Structure 1
Amino acid sequence: MKPRYLLGLLMFLSSVSYGQTKHFVKQTASGAGTGLGSWANAAGAAQLQGIIAGAASGDTVWVAMGVYHPTTYPAGFTGGTTTRDYAFALTNGVAVYGGFAGNETYLSQRNVSLYVTSLSGDIGVAGVITDNCYHVIATYNVTTTAILDGFKIDSGYANGGASISDGGQTFSQSEGAGICDMKSQPTLANCTFVANQATSEGGAIYFNNCNALPITNCTFTTNTAGGNGGAISKETSSPITFTNCSFTGNQTTVAAGTTGGGAIYSASGSNDVITNCTFTNNKSANAYGGALFYNGTSTLTMSHCMFTQNNAGTYGAGLADIGGTSFTVSNCNFNNNAALYGGGIYSNGGSSTYAYDTLANNTATSTTGAGGGGFYVDGTNPIISHCWFDANVTNGGNGAGQYDNGSASPTDSNTVFQANIAKGTTSNGGGYYHTGGTGFFVNDVFVDNACAVNGGAYYNNSSQPVENCTFYNNTAGTGDHGGGYYDVGGSGIKFYNNILWNNAPDNFYSLGAAGSMKLKYNNFPEAASYPVGGSVVGNIHQTPPFYNTGSYVGADGKWATLDDGLHLTTAADSGGVDAVPPSGTNGSYGWPGDDIVGTYRADPGKDSADMGAYEDGIIPLPLSLVQFTAVPASEGGAIDLSWSVTAGGAVTRFQVTRSTDGIIFQTIASELADPNQDTYQYVDNTAPDGVLYYRLVMTYAGGTTGYSAVLEVTRTSLAASVQIRPNLVEQRSTTLYVGGVKQAGQVMIHAVDLMGRTWINHPITLTLGDNYTLLDLGDMPRGVYYLVITGANGWRRVLPFEKE
């Protein structure tokens, strides 16, 4: 009997929790006006808040296009006295959707961009902001099950001097004009926040003590705060995941103090993730962070974001952090931003990592002293790798590419500084300016940088080691020194395995004492330009055999790839090729494990390495000698590769290499060459789904190496067509159609509801051609679901369907 009672209890709870009733709201009530059943019985605009509050967990509310105003005080808050205290509130377990014309039957039919559904705080005289609601939405103690999706939120004006309470905490009405969120974690998706204004914190949204909050596909435009966070201000442990969001024209207007964040301000305790977001033309007044300002101990993981034309009155137009924030920033672009110091990024405190980021055309507007057109590092120790500093400028300060101040000890590796210019009559360090701490530089390239005084590429006032770097065509001021490298002589330099050539007026210049200098195995022309003595050994003065100084990035247009022009092109022992003895010759540093491209320097049995940032005497093979093609196979999703060689018996071995990012390649096949064969083929049956890059590596008699051009190809999907028939399911089952299958095998099927709960989880086997599979939906309740199908090699399809 116990199992039966338990089953009955579970069925009862299921019916209570997952009723999933649809509620419909239009500007004007129609039919019965209850909001139940269909659009024909839609509730009116004034009933919207009541419908949301009265919905049960699992219900959805569909709201047609139009403008909706708050009509009640928000649940969970007390102390409201006027209509300006009205605000919408969300309900746990209830998903509220906008973007409907008012005649749809499926959620997938709505069009958020065409059928704009606005939640507006403009409740008084139209267009007069001073009588608007303090907050358009005020949420208290809700979870991620409370969903707001497909709305425009505008015209909130949080300027109240009074306060209202959440029952345990009092806060000012001057915070969060669009949304004021206390102790909550709602889900925000496909929303637009426009022209909201707060006299204190968070022009569009103010978060306080919120948890694990996702914000997806949202837009924040021309919102303003008098304090922190022109669009968003986050206080007291409010972590947020931002995905595919845009921030444009937001600003803070406060004139002084440790404030800012034209787009986003984050206080201590916020552990955020920001992915695929754009920040354009945001502004922080005389303060920090034109776009982002992190103040205090927090963490940030950010990738594939774009920062353009942002402005900060003092520090960090794109990004500023102080007080211990730990960042991981990768594949982000900071372009054309401007601040007094740190045009792209300002960092003070914490332990941060920057990888594969581009900082270009940023400006530090200070006319003297500190600068940092691209990056200002202040008393912290970031790890910077595979980054590109291009055409950044200081208007008079030092360090156009990167400026390090005081005890800063950064690590810069596999990074390029190109065409950065330190302007002004007293400016030093076109590419890089360092004073104070240690850190080190390794496998970096400095090219075409310039300054008005000393250190066209690099200005040093510390014992910071510089190892296996290439300095080419950099320029210091007329009558000054160190077009390539300038050492002020403060701490005794450590300079190992570098190439400095064609820099003006000189390549290397140091004021350091001979006894404190460690200058080993470098190549530069001026044999007498440094003191004799100390650890000064192994330096040469021979023209380096660069592959092509007329094209630094080569035919593929990318730095740090195998066709870069500053590779050394001969295997002979000259100009820096094989000129560095085994590890141990340069103190505790030895050879770097890889070069800037990723070529391994210390192969087994190798007794020497190259000077400079590149290893192995690369000889990029002229394209006329090799025809190399990569195309999707007709069946099975494989990639057909073929090549022809006109070099006869000179080739001894072929290697086929593959990459998913165009930077790091792995060998997937190797074949010995036949002197009597000039055409070859290989089928890549292990290719993952998506965009792939292929490169052919050829080994010639004598040990030299040739490389083909990099080919880009998109692997065909496992199947050509995937459908649910029908996708409005009224029975216990529906049919999954997977057509044009090109690779037989097993795939996994998952059915997930809007709350993230999984209802189906099992494999099916696909055969070549067309497949029809009956999906048993069992007793799944009514509602909207996503069918997620995943296969081998990363193949994935997501299909929405609705159970009636």
Structure 2
Amino acid sequence: MMRCFCVTRIRVLLTIALVIPAPAFAQITPAQTVVYVDVDANGSASGTSWVNALPDLQGALQNAASGSEIWVAAGTYYPTSSSATAEGRDATFQLRTGVALYGGFAGSENNRSQRDPSANITILSGDIDRGIQPLSKSFNVVTASDTDASAVLDGFTIRDGQAALRFPNERRLYSGGGIFNQNASPTLSNLIITANFAEAGGGMFSGGTGAPTLRNVQFVDNNASEGGALYIDDTSAPRFINTIFIENTSSLDGGAVFTESASSISFDGSSFTANNSGADGGAIANSGGSISFTGVSITANQTRFRGGAVHNVGSSAAFTATTIISNTSRDDRGGGVFSEDSAVSFFDSTIVGNNAVIGGGVAISRGSALFNDVEISANAVRSTTTGGGGGGGISISSSEVVLSDTLIVNNRAVGGGGVSIGGGSNVLFQSVVISGNQATGSFFAEGGGVSLFASSAIFTATTIVNNYAEATGGGIDAERSSPLIVNSLLTGNQADRDGGGIYMTSNDGTILDSVISGNRAQRGAGLANYDSDTILTNVLISGNRADIEGGGVFESEGSFATFTHVTIASNRATFGGGVYTDESTPRFRNSLIAGNLANLNPQLWAESSNPAFDHSLITGIDLRDFGTGNLDGTGDPRFVAPIDPDLAPTTAGTFRLQDGSSAIDVGSARFLDERQNDVPDLNGDGDRSDIITRDLTGASRVQGSATDLGAYEGGAPQEPELRPVLYFPLFRRR
């Protein structure tokens, strides 16, 4: 339905829009000609002074010489005084190269710096028949076509344009109700563009070539089929500085802005608030070109489908120092940002409190994304009658994504409370904190921190803490994937079923130089391994609690895990406090299992399994007949500060070795040499020629006559250093 606007909307604008202070304008030089316009003037109409001002702005504009300025007093001005004929609707204020229009004067000023547009409202209205016929307004209140930067429009309210005539198919008749800009680069400043309507760009259309500059411009309550406030097309490349978009609407895409431009468009220090679209892009729908946001606020926008704030398809988008807050996708994905077949980047930005059915904060599909120094928090995936989707903070599908120095906290979804990854994606987490996220609302709620399906992910120097899953994988849930976890912490996570810290199924995963501590689940509180060939090297698994089986580790369904220099201590379960293995073949090399608690078999429970041991110690179990170099189980590892497993889940305890430990100098360095036929790719970099020379904390191995057992070389400091590791190639082949 065509929307009708009334003059009474001005009172709304006075309360929300005229917030720009009167700028300090340059004074007129003697060489400049000033033409005075005042709709209420009754002098000689020569335009040479306020007393003799012209009452007709249209005439003043048409007759002004190049290099002149037109000063316009407060009042309402129409582009024609004719009746509303078909020709009358063509009436427009045509800007001219070399002519500057300034509004906001009281009618007594001597220089431009004295004007005050916020007090002296100067209106350019397309309501040419004064409200007699609601559908008989000017197509375009202002036309800026074929001008350059010397065409200036400054200090006006532009309203009541109506460009919705599709036949004949002439662009100006259905585009840019407020301002129509074609092949032009005008300078537009201190404007309020409101209550305009068009098929394309209710407030403004900018097409063809050119690069208009808009500074301190407000688009308020405009409406269109696409681009409620603004439609950008062709190679037009406008720049927006301190521009505000409020309560604009579109029935299709781009509640505030729709762009198909093949050029670069930039928004600096601008804001988008409470805009709404009926299809995609609550605030902005971008396709085809590149768009950048610097110091921008995008808040409380809504769309029906994709991109509550921004919808980005086949384009590039960059967000710097930008806040994306409380935006909504009602029925689809990308509550904050949706990006498809595109490259998108976020720097020093905040994505908070957005929601959608999939990808509460950001949804990335078939593209690439970079997040650096970004906070992604309190975003949510909503449940619907057909269930909810994944990725409370971020949803990633068939994409390559890098996250560094980023916080992913307190997000919520059915799957992947923090991040959901699928569709063959490759994702790098570097120096990322993933904390307090939840996967809830379904029996299949998996991956409180991260859900990973049929994809590859590298976690380096990453902290995954205090996440929760109603089903499996409190910290990480990985299925049919290739996760690589390096120099990372997984602590305080919980799953109501399996895998409090990590849940692996049908995986080829690697865990190196990491700590899995203080997690809780029914099975595999630290790590649950199903049909997976996980490789663990220099790993501490401590203080985890399983209500049923495998306080530290649970192995099942033909898993073939390799534990090299792994310490499994102070974990608790009903059965198999340290390790529970069922129908699996784990290998333990230079490893140490001690001080765990269970009703039966506190250190190791092997059910229909064939574990292998080399140079390892399990307290209470004589391993000498089960491999080479194993200990008889009577020795004391002499941890510096072991913790009572009754206190699990806990991250307390110090598990490096003291002098006199039976686990010192009894290991074999050959198990750290990937060149050996029976040694796997320990660090997961795809190169089978590496030798692991350091322990969990980065201390050198083999400080005595031989390497020590467990994650720590004797005398090493307790706290691991989270060291980002760069892998080449970045992502491994699955």
TM-fit CA distance, 1:610? 9.6
Q: 1:94 to 1:197 in 2, by over 3 A?
A: same
For 1:517, the equivalent position in structure 2 comes to 509
Query: In structure 1, what is the equivalent of residue 683 of structure 2?
Result: 586
Report the CA distance between 1:530 and its aligned residue.
3.4
Alignment of 1:465-484 (within 5 A): 465-477=458-470, 480-484=471-475
Q: Is the 8 A contact 1:500 1:507 kept in 2?
A: no
Q: Distance in 1 between the 2:422 and 2:652 partners?
A: 35
- Report what 1:144 is aligned to: 149
- Mapping of residues 381-392 of structure 1, within 5 Å: 381-392=368-379
Q: How much has 1:293 moved relative to structure 2? A: 0.7
Give the letter for the 1:273 counterpart: S
Contact persistence 1:347–1:380 (CA under 8 A): yes
C-alpha distance in 2 between matches for 1:428 and 1:94: 59
Following superposition, the deviation at residue 157 of structure 1 comes to 1.2
Q: Which moved more, 1:331-340 or 1:126-135?
A: 126-135
In structure 2, how many angstroms separate the alpha carbons of the residues matched to 1:333 and 1:408? 23
Q: Is the 8 A contact 1:129 1:157 kept in 2?
A: no
Residue in 1 aligned with 2:428?
A: 440
Q: Is the 8 A contact 1:442 1:468 kept in 2?
A: yes
1:217 aligned partner: 216
Structure 2 CA distance for partners of 1:610 and 1:344, relative to 1, 3 Å = farther
Work out whether residues 381 and 409 of structure 1, in 8 Å CA contact, stay in contact via their aligned partners in 2: yes
Unaligned stretches of 5+ in structure 1?
1-16, 74-79, 165-169, 255-259, 545-567, 575-580, 591-600, 617-804
1:349 aligns with 2:341: yes
1:520 deviates by: 1.3
Match of 2:438 among 444, 450, 459: 450
User: Residue type of the partner of 1:275?
Assistant: D
- Corresponding residue of 2:61: 52
Contact 1:499 1:611 in 2 (8 A): no
Residues 511 and 534 of structure 1: is their aligned pair in 2 closer, same or farther, counting only changes over 3 Å? closer
Corresponding residue for 2:585? none
**Within-5 A mapping of 1:629-708:** none
Partner of 2:354: 362
> Does 1:27 find its partner at 2:39?
yes
- CA pair 609-67 structure 1, distance change in 2 beyond 3 A: farther
CA shift digits 1:304-334 (9 cap, x unpaired): 11111100111101111101x1222111111
Residue 529 in structure 1 maps to residue 528 in structure 2: yes
Q: Distance in 2 between matches of 1:612 and 1:231?
A: 53
Aligned position for 2:131: 126
Give the structure 1 partner of residue 633 of structure 2. none
* 1:337-362 deviation digits (Å, cap 9, x = unpaired): 10021000001123222111111111
Tell me how far apart the structure 1 counterparts of residues 124 and 144 of structure 2 sit (CA, whole Å).
14
- Superposed, 1:271-420 pairs within 5 Å as 271-285=264-278, 287-296=279-288, 298-323=289-314, 325-339=315-329, 340-364=332-356, 366=357, 371-396=358-383, 397-420=388-411
C-alpha deviation, 1:336, in angstroms? 0.8
Provide the aligned C-alpha RMSD in A.
3.2
Taking the aligned partners of 2:408 and 2:415, their CA distance within structure 1 comes to 15
Counterpart of 1:43 in structure 2 is 54
> Do the aligned residues in 1 keep the contact of 2:158 with 2:193 (CA within 8 Å)?
yes
Q: Is the 8 A contact 1:20 1:57 kept in 2?
A: no
TM, length-normalised to structure 1: 0.61
Q: Which residue in the other structure is 1:728 paired with?
A: none
Match of 2:580 in 1: none
* Partners of 2:403 and 2:432 within 8 A in 1: yes
The separation in 1 between residues aligned to 2:195 and 2:239, in whole angstroms, is 23
**Shift in CA distance, 231/602, structure 1 to aligned 2, threshold 3 Å:** farther
State the aligned residue count. 523
Q: Quick check: 2:516–2:540 contact (8 Å CA) kept in 1?
A: yes
Q: Is the alpha carbon distance of 1:421 and 1:527 closer, same or farther for their aligned partners in structure 2, counting shifts above 3 Å?
A: closer
Tell me what 1:229 maps to. Answer: 227
1:540-585 Cα offsets, whole Å, 9 max, x none, are 02469xxxxxxxxxxxxxxxxxxxxxxx9999969xxxxxx9xx97
**SS of 2:188's equivalent?**
strand
* 1:160 Cα deviation after fit: 2.3
C-alpha distance in structure 1 between counterparts of 2:477 and 2:719, whole Å: 19
Q: Write out aligned runs for 1:732-771 (5 A).
A: none
1:223 and 1:418 map into 2 onto residues whose CA distance is 36
Which residue number in structure 2 is paired with residue 190 of structure 1? 190
Aligned sequence identity (%) = 28
Distance change >3 Å, CA 571–CA 528, structure 1 → 2 = closer
User: Partner amino acid for 1:132?
Assistant: K
Q: Which has the larger Rg?
A: 2
| Structure 1 residues 21 and 498: CA distance shift in structure 2, 3 A | same
Shift of 1:404: 3.5
Equivalent pair of 2:461/2:723 in contact (CA under 8 Å):
no
Task: Classify 1:400/1:406 alpha carbon distance in 2 versus 1 (closer, same or farther; 3 Å).
Answer: closer
Closer, same or farther in 2 for the Cα pair 1:87/1:475, shift >3 Å?
A: same
Q: Secondary structure at the residue paired with 1:439? A: strand
Match of 1:487 among 466, 475, 478: 478
State whether residues 139 and 172 of structure 2, in contact with CA within 8 Å, keep that contact through their aligned partners in structure 1: no
Q: Distance in 2 between matches of 1:484 and 1:108?
A: 60
Q: Cα offset for 1:611?
A: 7.8
Q: Determine the structure 1 residue equivalent to 2:90.
A: 85
What is the match of residue 770 of structure 1?
none
Summarize the Cα distance change of 1:91–1:278 in structure 2 as closer, same or farther, 3 Å threshold: same
What one-letter code is carried by the residue in structure 2 that aligns with 1:223? N
CA distance in 1, matches of 2:35, 2:652: 71
Identify the match of residue 101 of structure 1 among 106, 112, 122: 106
Matched, 1:498 2:495: no
Q: Judging changes above 3 Å, is the alpha-carbon distance between structure 1 residues 218 and 470 closer, same or farther for their aligned structure 2 residues? A: same
Matches of 1:472 and 1:152, distance apart in 2:
53
1:196 CA drift (Å): 0.5
**Structure 1 position 275, deviation (Å):** 0.7
Could you tell me which amino acid in structure 2 is paired with residue 522 of structure 1? S
**Which residue matches 1:117?**
122
1:135 and 1:267 map into 2 onto residues whose CA distance is 21
Structure 2 gap ranges (5+) = 1-28, 518-524, 545-650, 658-671, 673-680, 688-696, 700-712, 725-734
Measure the CA separation in 1 of the matches of 2:290 and 2:417: 31
Q: 1:159, 1:352 → 2: CA distance?
A: 34
Report SS of the residue matched to 1:71. Answer: coil
CA pair 161-612 structure 1, distance change in 2 beyond 3 A: farther
Which residue identity does 2:40 align to in structure 1? T
Q: 1:90 to 1:511 in 2, by over 3 A?
A: same
User: One-letter code of the match for 2:292?
Assistant: T
Distance 1:300 1:528, change over 3 A: closer
Question: Given that residues 523 and 611 in structure 1 are in contact (C-alpha distance below 8 angstroms), is that contact kept between their aligned partners in structure 2?
Answer: no
Please give the secondary structure, in 1, of the residue aligned with 2:89: helix
How far off its partner does 1:273 sit?
Answer: 1.1
State the AA in 2 paired with 1:123. Answer: I
For residues 34 and 81 of structure 1, the distance between their equivalents in structure 2, rounded to whole angstroms, comes to: 31
Taking structure 1 as reference, are residues 70 and 442 closer, same or farther at Cα in structure 2, changes over 3 Å only? same
Shift in Å, 1:139: 2.5
* Secondary structure of 1:493 counterpart: strand
DSSP 3-state at the match of 1:529: strand
Contact 2:417 2:448 in 1 (8 A): yes
